[in-house]
Amino acid sequence: MPETGLPGLARKGEELIVRFWGVRGSIPVPGPGTVRSGGNTPCVEIQYVGRETLILDAGTGIRLLGLDLDRRPRERLVAVLLFSHTHWDHIQGFPFFSPARMRNNRLVILGGRRVGPHLEHVLAGQMSDAYLPFTLDDLRADVLIKEALDGEKLVVGDTISVLPRRLNHPGGVFGYRINRRGKVVVYASDVSHPQEGLDERVVELARGADLLIHDAQFTPEERRQRPDWGHSSWEEAVEVAIQAGVRRLALFHHDPMHDDDQLDEIERQAQARFAGAFLAREGMEVRI
Ligand SMILES: [Zn+2]
Ligand SMILES: [Zn+2]
Q: What is the pLDDT of residues 119-139, one digit of tens each?
A: 999 999 999 999 999 999 999
Q: What mean pLDDT, rounded, does the chain reach?
A: 93
User: Looking at the CA of 92, which ligand is closest?
Assistant: 1
Is residue 37 over pLDDT 60?
Answer: yes
d(CA 98, CA 139): 9
Rounded to the nearest whole angstrom, what is the distance from the C-alpha of residue 190 to the centroid of ligand 2? 5
Rounded to the nearest whole angstrom, what is the distance from the C-alpha of residue 171 to the centroid of ligand 2? 8
Query: 11 φ, ψ to 5°?
Result: -80, -40
Rounded to the nearest whole angstrom, what is the distance from the C-alpha of residue 232 to the centroid of ligand 1? 11
Task: Tell me what the mean pLDDT of segment 91-118 comes to.
Answer: 95
Task: Tell me what the mean pLDDT of segment 191-199 comes to.
Answer: 96
Rounded to the nearest whole angstrom, what is the distance from the C-alpha of residue 90 to the centroid of ligand 1? 6
Task: Tell me what the mean pLDDT of segment 3-16 comes to.
Answer: 49
pTM equals 0.94
Does residue 93 fall inside a structural domain?
yes
* Domain housing 168: 17-287
Into how many domains does the chain fold? 1
Does residue 33 fall inside a structural domain?
yes
Rounded to the nearest whole angstrom, what is the distance from the C-alpha of residue 158 to the centroid of ligand 1? 30
Does residue 3 fall inside a structural domain?
no
Does residue 4 fall inside a structural domain?
no
User: Looking at the CA of 169, which ligand is closest?
Assistant: 2
Half-sphere exposure (Cβ direction) of 198: Cα atoms closer than 13 Å: 20
Q: Classify 85 as helix, strand or coil.
A: coil
Rounded to the nearest whole angstrom, what is the distance from the C-alpha of residue 90 to the centroid of ligand 2? 8
User: Looking at the CA of 25, which ligand is closest?
Assistant: 1
d(CA 137, CA 30): 30
- At 116 the pLDDT is 87
Segment among 37-51, 159-173, 209-223, 235-249 with least mean pLDDT: 37-51
d(CA 253, CA 23): 5
Does residue 11 fall inside a structural domain?
no
Percent of all residues in the chain with a pLDDT value above 70, rounded to a whole number: 94
Does residue 92 fall inside a structural domain?
yes
- At 73 the pLDDT is 84
Rounded to the nearest whole angstrom, what is the distance from the C-alpha of residue 128 to the centroid of ligand 2? 22
CATH number at residue 161: 3.60.15.10
Task: Tell me what the mean pLDDT of segment 194-216 comes to.
Answer: 97
Rounded to the nearest whole angstrom, what is the distance from the C-alpha of residue 270 to the centroid of ligand 2? 23
Does residue 236 fall inside a structural domain?
yes
Q: Classify 178 as helix, strand or coil.
A: strand
d(CA 209, CA 9): 23
Is residue 12 over pLDDT 60?
Answer: no
Does residue 137 fall inside a structural domain?
yes
* CA–CA–CA angle 215, 26, 98 (5° rounding): 100
